[in-house]
Structure 1
Amino acid sequence: MRTGDAVPLGEATRAWFLISLQTFGGPAGQISVMQHELVDRRRWIGQRRFLHALNYCMLLPGPEAQQLAIYTGWLLNGTRGGLIAGTLFVLPGMLALLALTALYLAAGSTNVVSGLFAGLAPAVIAIVVQAVQRVGRRALTHPGLVVLAVASFVALTAFGVPFPVVVLGAGFLGWLLGRWFPSLRRLGPEQDDEGPPPLVSDDALHVDLPSAGRTARIVALGLVVWFTPVVLAGALLGRDSVLVDQGLFFSGAAVVTFGGAYAVLAYVAQQAVEVYGWLAPGEMVRGLALAETTPGPLIMVVQFVGGVGAYRDPGPLDPWVAMLVGSLLVTWVTFVPCFLFILLGAPYVERLRRNQQLTAALTGITAAVVGVIASLAVYFALHTLFDATRIVGWGPLRLELPVLASWDPFAFALTGVALLLLLRLGWSPLRTLGLCAVVGLASAFVL
């Protein structure tokens, strides 16, 4: 068992803070940023170790990019590193969205934010396309894996196959491919064939040995930390408080959010509007626009739901106090489970890392990830480059197609610029996002 820091904790903390400021663009963009900072630039972790951690996170409910940050933070600096990495990953976005929610409630207008989003969305498309290119180049090392990636893309985009089914199916097919092609389950050195080996050796990474006692301690402590704020809200404000309803609802949502933020947002919107009345019809879209302009996981939009709902039904609290408490409570019950899942499961996943059959299955999942990211790129492109879409279906086939007459020339032009900056000129995601945000903000006052 290795228990020391693979890199100095202070240096790792500074790196995670830098990463936290660049986590725009949903999981694809966030994973791309971590790939660039941890694998390519700093070379703290090898490509295969990084993808092994990503494969596990893809199987969990919740935001996989934040869970990947917790996992890699744990590998580098143990439990402290995981807590620091996971917290910093969501902190800037939480603070930014809290301020934007307050601005929304106070002013009732999001014109400036809409302008920013008009600039950021094209940059997001470019970041996701770059992620498809980078991850695909490293993961699709065999024609069978290319076919699996394409099949995953088609299953998600054209047939609406649930995300967990795609992941499980990819794992099974990866296992089969491993039986037919032994090279797919070969465990080679912890490095990318195209680049130098990591500066931190594989043996220097932190790994806890799994045990029943450790598992019991983490489960008990995690559940107490997770539900204590909800219990306190019930004790102080009564069971009928909106804060208790929000704590229980979003605690449940946190363990069923398979398939990424977009897969669960429709359910959250329906419950928040039609069942609980926390939002008015159409407000979920405004909250999503606000969340898109902030760093961190897109599921952070639930913070907007909690803040607005608590503000409008504050009970004995001042509305602004209720908004603050509701925002923080919903954020807490949404993200604390991520720490529990990783700290509980990562030692077992690491123990199985050299299992060749598991390696083949996870190789299939990695190929599917390329298809998932590509489907996300299509989704962003449809809803950014066009103002309207239509659904076309034939039997099980269900395609979302753009209404060509609704194309947005500004979005098309800015997307082209962002692609040029990222893919041809080598700009960083943060620099590209900054320029596009300025252009979008200017467009709000000019166009």
Structure 2
Amino acid sequence: MEKPVAIERNELFKPSFREAIRFWFILGWISFGGTTGHITIMHDFLVDKKKWVSSKKFFRALNACMLLPGPEAHQLTIYLGWKLHGLKGGVLAGLFFILPSLCIILGLSLVYVYFGNSAFLSALFSGLKPAVLAIILFATYKVGQKSLLGTWHYIVALLAFLLSYFVKVPMPWIILGVMVLGFSLYFLKPKEEKGKSEQEEEVDKERFYHVNSLETVPSISVRKISVQFLAFFLLWLGPFMALYLFMPDATFWKDLSFLFTKSAYLTIGGSYTVIPYVANLVTEKFLWLTKTQMIDGFALAETTPGPLVIVLAYVGFMAGFNHFDHSYAMAMVGLAATAYFTFLPNFALIFIGAPLIERSQKNKAIQYVLSLVTASVVGVIVNLAFYLGQGILFPTTSGLANLDWKALLWVAISIFLLFRYRIGMLQLILLSLVYGFLLYLLP
């Protein structure tokens, strides 16, 4: 029977608090390309370049975050910040990851309501959208290289793509099916125990990283979890009561607070599980936005760094703007409130559930199942690429006659730059803006 091995952290690669915070701040400004882009950037820097975290530990944490409601990239950022520098590291990492995108989406929302759908803005979007598609394809390829480890991983990824694209099966049901399949495969397959040399080789590999997969697992304290739960409840209750008691139209703020708190717990599998849910409610039930405004907001969020779920902050902005007779002040309060109630649960889930996540990383059955979940997410992201590709390359209807050749050209150029020259995400976005500007000058 294989015995667990515990090793000390490698202090040689321990980052200073300032160095880590600098990275989290920069990450918030350059993390384009959705979840896959965020994960790729973090893995390249934290694992490959700095050796702050081992690859095994990184993907174990990612797998666990994928099973939690909420955007997994944001949760992974909080978790890794916590592992590197405790509570303050997790809080600041999580804040710096979303603050830049919040500032940008606020600026874009102000531009949107002030200028509307001008020809100039439409041309800029025509340059940005093909680049976003290329970034998603490139990042999916890189993550797939690291997470598709065997035959069953490829099969699961393919099935996830087919079910999500052709059958329209929601992501939570795909994850549930993969979990059942994973546990079945794990308990049916022959058990292989690592020999002593394999175990020693793993220890030798992990010991070169500051945060690694062989650390001692912290104990679970019911008292500590209870105190944390109460603290986060009070953090939710305080702003809610302030909005309800002191802002005009208490019913609006109650509905907004409850909607985005609930939506924070319905995002298993990524932002694309919550966006249709919210879009339907805000356009059909609450009538805060028109369908056109919702679609435009989705396009805006695609071109900002940070998690795609930041589109909900735009929804809060437009809800306040429309509901209170084009009030810019109420729009900004709506954006701030929506962001707060959307992202607070991520901090609660990670800080309260961190010991449970740590323990799950030592369970081989859970780790095998989660590796298949990661593979299924790769398949669903390929589905996303097809979905976006249809809207970007065929903006009106399907068919070769309706193909947007200018968009296809920029997708091809962007993919070439990413694969051949490893151009940075920020540089590609800037080039795409230039391309969009040229489209405006030369229609």
Q: Common fold, TM-score beyond 0.5?
A: yes
Structure 1 residue 263: deviation in Å? Answer: 2.6
Structure 1 residue 386: deviation in Å? Answer: 1.3
1:18 match:
26
Deviates more, 1:259-268 or 1:96-105: 259-268
- Say if 1:85 and 1:216 are closer, same or farther in 2 by CA, change over 3 A: same
Structure 1 residue 186: deviation in Å? Answer: 6.6
1:385 match:
393
Q: Quick one: which amino acid aligns to residue 99 of structure 1?
A: G
1:226 maps to 2:222: no
1:221-254 residue CA offsets vs partner (Å, 9 max, x unmatched): 1111123212111111366342332112211211
1:56 maps to 2:64: yes
1:399 match:
none
Q: Alignment partner of 2:53: what SS?
A: coil
- Say if 1:204 and 1:148 are closer, same or farther in 2 by CA, change over 3 A: closer
Q: Distance in 2 between matches of 1:407 and 1:180?
A: 48
Q: Distance in 2 between matches of 1:420 and 1:155?
A: 30
- Say if 1:99 and 1:71 are closer, same or farther in 2 by CA, change over 3 A: same
Q: Verify the 8 A CA contact 1:191 1:197 in the aligned structure 2.
A: no
Q: Verify the 8 A CA contact 2:156 2:375 in the aligned structure 1.
A: yes
Q: Verify the 8 A CA contact 1:167 1:365 in the aligned structure 2.
A: yes
1:137 match:
145
Q: Verify the 8 A CA contact 2:69 2:265 in the aligned structure 1.
A: yes
1:446 match:
442
Q: Verify the 8 A CA contact 1:306 1:330 in the aligned structure 2.
A: yes
2:132 match:
124
Question: What is the TM-score when the length of structure 1 is the normalising length?
Answer: 0.88
Q: Alignment partner of 1:94: what SS?
A: helix
Structure 1 residue 147: deviation in Å? Answer: 1.3
The 5 Å alignment of 1:405-416 reads 405-416=401-412
2:368 match:
360
2:428 match:
432
1:328 maps to 2:324: no
1:298 maps to 2:301: no
Q: Distance in 2 between matches of 1:305 and 1:186?
A: 51
Match of 1:236 among 226, 246, 257: 246
Q: Verify the 8 A CA contact 1:190 1:202 in the aligned structure 2.
A: no
Q: Alignment partner of 2:274: what SS?
A: helix
Q: Alignment partner of 1:255: what SS?
A: coil
Deviates more, 1:329-338 or 1:237-246: 237-246
Q: Distance in 1 between matches of 2:311 and 2:327?
A: 19
2:45 match:
37
Structure 1 residue 415: deviation in Å? Answer: 0.6
Q: Alignment partner of 1:269: what SS?
A: helix
Q: Distance in 1 between matches of 2:191 and 2:49?
A: 28
Q: Quick one: which amino acid aligns to residue 212 of structure 2?
A: D
The 5 Å alignment of 1:157-168 reads 157-168=165-176
Structure 1 residue 191: deviation in Å? Answer: 10
Q: Distance in 2 between matches of 1:293 and 1:65?
A: 17
- Say if 1:270 and 1:363 are closer, same or farther in 2 by CA, change over 3 A: closer
Structure 1 residue 417: deviation in Å? Answer: 0.6
1:108 match:
116
1:98 match:
106
Q: Distance in 2 between matches of 1:330 and 1:265?
A: 14
Structure 1 residue 293: deviation in Å? Answer: 2.0
- Say if 1:267 and 1:360 are closer, same or farther in 2 by CA, change over 3 A: closer
Task: Identify unmatched segments of 5+ residues in structure 2.
Answer: 1-5
Deviates more, 1:111-120 or 1:57-66: 111-120
- Say if 1:114 and 1:341 are closer, same or farther in 2 by CA, change over 3 A: farther
1:265 maps to 2:261: no
CA RMSD in angstroms comes to 2.9
Instruction: Give aligned pairs, total.
Output: 431
Q: Verify the 8 A CA contact 1:307 1:325 in the aligned structure 2.
A: yes
Q: Verify the 8 A CA contact 1:23 1:33 in the aligned structure 2.
A: yes
Structure 1 residue 438: deviation in Å? Answer: 2.0
Q: Distance in 1 between matches of 2:348 and 2:395?
A: 40
1:43-92 residue CA offsets vs partner (Å, 9 max, x unmatched): 22122211111111111222111111111111211111111111111111
Q: Alignment partner of 1:35: what SS?
A: helix
Q: Distance in 1 between matches of 2:124 and 2:46?
A: 29
Q: Distance in 2 between matches of 1:185 and 1:371?
A: 30
Q: Alignment partner of 1:167: what SS?
A: helix
Q: Quick one: which amino acid aligns to residue 377 of structure 1?
A: A
Q: Quick one: which amino acid aligns to residue 77 of structure 1?
A: H
- Say if 1:239 and 1:432 are closer, same or farther in 2 by CA, change over 3 A: closer
Q: Distance in 2 between matches of 1:331 and 1:238?
A: 19
Q: Quick one: which amino acid aligns to residue 431 of structure 1?
A: Q
Q: Distance in 2 between matches of 1:280 and 1:116?
A: 23
- Say if 1:226 and 1:205 are closer, same or farther in 2 by CA, change over 3 A: farther
Q: Quick one: which amino acid aligns to residue 319 of structure 2?
A: G
1:289 maps to 2:285: no
2:3 match:
none
Q: Verify the 8 A CA contact 2:36 2:143 in the aligned structure 1.
A: no
1:148-186 residue CA offsets vs partner (Å, 9 max, x unmatched): 221122121121122112112222323333345558997
Deviates more, 1:110-119 or 1:246-255: 110-119
Q: Verify the 8 A CA contact 1:303 1:328 in the aligned structure 2.
A: yes
2:350 match:
342
Q: Distance in 2 between matches of 1:40 and 1:382?
A: 35
Q: Verify the 8 A CA contact 2:394 2:402 in the aligned structure 1.
A: yes
Match of 2:81 among 73, 77, 83: 73
Question: What is the TM-score when the length of structure 2 is the normalising length?
Answer: 0.89
Q: Distance in 2 between matches of 1:189 and 1:121?
A: 47
Q: Alignment partner of 1:159: what SS?
A: coil
